Amino acid sequence: MSKTQDHIINLRNPKTGTVIKTFKNKKQNPDKMKIRKFDKKIRQHVEFVESKK
């Protein structure tokens, strides 16, 4: 089964605007995703929130 564009989401840091693209299973996780990841601009681990494409 191939991964389609429907499963690709953008995770955005609200403070710096940094965007990370990742995959999400929308059937298991229908809510907006929040994840702590490393932001290269400020060199810290911060919370990224799912945003529109």
Confidence of residue 40 (pLDDT cuts 50, 70, 90): very high
Is residue 18's pLDDT more than 70? yes
Structure tokens at 48: 């990224």
> Which pLDDT score, from 0 to 100, does residue 52 have?
86
Share the mean pLDDT of the chain.
90
**pLDDT over 90 percentage in the chain:** 68
Cut 0.85: pTM above it: no
| CATH code of the domain in which 20 resides | 2.20.28.120
Averaged pLDDT, 26-38: 92
Order across the sheet with 34-39: list the strands.
19-23, 8-12, 44-51, 34-39
Domain that holds residue 43: 5-51
Number of domains observed in the structure of the chain: 1
